[in-house]
Amino acid sequence: MKYSIRTLLALVAVAAFAMVALRSYRKAITEQNRSVQLELAIESLEQQQVVQVDYRETKLAQDDLNASLQDNRDLCEQAIKVLVERYGLIKPVDAETLSIRRSPAIRADTSHAPILFKLFVPEDRPIWLKFGLHPQSTSAPSDRAAGSEDVLLGESAFNPSGPFELKLPPGEHEVAFLMEGPENAFGRFQVRLNSEVLAQPTVIAGSDVRRSGHMSISADQQVDFAPNRTLPRLVTFQLRQYETKDSESTKEFNLSVWLSDRSSSFSPFSALH
């Protein structure tokens, strides 16, 4: 088959046009892919920007909330301080009268709130602070009840078990009792005089001791104890020791802290340090 020069030129022109069109198409496809990739990149950046904005807004909101909570805590602590100063004041009566008053207390974190007392110990009368454990079936130790201290336990689920005593120096003091342990479980009991830890009986490992109740002297206002008055128990915790886990067999005993105007020749609290 023979083609004329004109036909050949026409074929060449068509081929050249086709190649140019193919190149243009490929270029258009490439540009389209680039455009799609650019759009995806822009969308990704926009999403990141939104996430960053959301994070910043969340962080600022959390910071504002934390600051507000801290401000409220500071206000509460200041209010408690004012209450302690206003209602925890204690005034001496004379050289032989012991004065007691319960002080407001706030708990820290999730621990139990301490039980606080203000005491004013007179100059001319000895006052002893005593600690001991005793069976619930017996009467609690009393300042002047004959033989009431004979029932105190020398051994128990606590280490140390006591009993202990300390002669309080004259003047104003703060006595604090702190209990540690989840819910009704009893883990550790702490006795403080001012800033000093006098005793810290801890439940022996493997023992299951639970608190069933407690009692303390009602002294929301100042109570004065002249020499002719029996000195009080400050606090008693009622405890149960379970023999085994989930066992109904128990030993019941009390942990008490009381005051006396005479020594019982117990070991001194200082022997614990």
Q: How confident is the model at residue 186 (pLDDT cuts 50, 70, 90)?
A: low
Phi then psi for residue 174, to 5 deg, are -115, 125
Q: What is the pLDDT of residues 226-256, one digit of tens each?
A: 999 989 989 888 887 776 666 566 778 888 8
Q: Could you report the per-residue pLDDT of 11-63, keeping only the tens digit for each? A: 556 566 666 666 766 776 777 777 777 777 777 777 777 666 666 777 777 77
Q: What span, in angstroms and rounded, lies between the C-alpha atoms of 213 and 203?
A: 17
CA distances from 54 to 40, 41, 49, 57, 180 (A): 21, 20, 8, 5, 42
Q: What's the mean per-residue pLDDT of the chain?
A: 77
In this predicted structure, which of 64-78, 167-181, 258-272 has the lowest mean pLDDT?
64-78
Listed in sequence order, the residues at least 6 apart from 176 whose beta carbon sits closer than 8 Å to its beta carbon are 105, 114, 115, 116, 117, 190, 191, 192
pLDDT at 6: 66
Burial class (CB in 10 A: 0-12, 13-18, 19+), 38: exposed
The pLDDT of residue 130:
92
Q: Is the omega angle on the peptide bond into residue 160 within 30 degrees of 0, that is, cis? A: yes
**pLDDT, average across residues 122-144:** 83
Amino acid identity of 169? P
Residue 152 predicted with pLDDT over 70? yes
Nearest to 193 by CA among 166, 174, 172: 174
pLDDT classification of 120: cutoffs 50, 70, 90: very high
Task: Inform me whether the pLDDT recorded for 68 exceeds 70.
Answer: yes
pTM of this structure: 0.64
Residue 219, pLDDT > 50, answer yes
**Separation of alpha carbons 239 and 248, rounded Å:** 14
Give the closest residue to 124 by CA, choosing from 170, 71, 188, 70.
Answer: 170
